[in-house]
Amino acid sequence: MGAPVTGPRFLAESELQLTERAAAAAGYEVRRFRARDLVVVHVREPGGPWRYFAPLDSNAEAFALQVRMCMSVDVGTDRHATAKTPIAPQMREPLPVGHWSEAAAAARLAIVKAVALVKGE
């Protein structure tokens, strides 16, 4: 298992877009925040304070999305994760994300991808 993430990390553009789509689908206001070369996603409840949002790296953020979106997640013994939500009619079948080296990372990715699909790819 690798070292834990202790702060924001550099995200690929595809990861930023996926995180933004998931946040918008979950009902958050979304913006990007740049500090020098680092770009992160910030969210807020309408009218609330902005906060850093990293469900691809944070089990707590991913779990909050899962609960907010009434989502079920399954991580198999082969670390193959799937997620589905009854909110999105196009998501009647689980969305597999493939094999990852860490089961929690696979589950976080499955959650974020499934939530992003609620908003549309």
Q: With contact defined as beta carbons under 8 Å apart, do 45 and 28 qualify?
A: yes
Q: What is the pTM of this model?
A: 0.80
Residue type, 37: D
| DSSP secondary structure of 15-36 | HHHHHHHHHHHTT-EEEEEEET
Lowest mean pLDDT among 30-44, 67-81, 103-117: 67-81
Q: In the chain, where are the structural domains located? A: 13-119
CATH node for 13-119? 3.30.2120
Cα–Cα distance, 56 to 6 (Å, whole number): 13
Q: Which pLDDT band, with edges at 50, 70 and 90, does 3 fall under?
A: low
Query: Sign of the C-alpha dihedral, residues 85, 87, 91, 95?
Result: negative
Q: Residue 20: which residues within 8 A CB-CB, separation 6 or more?
A: 30, 32, 41
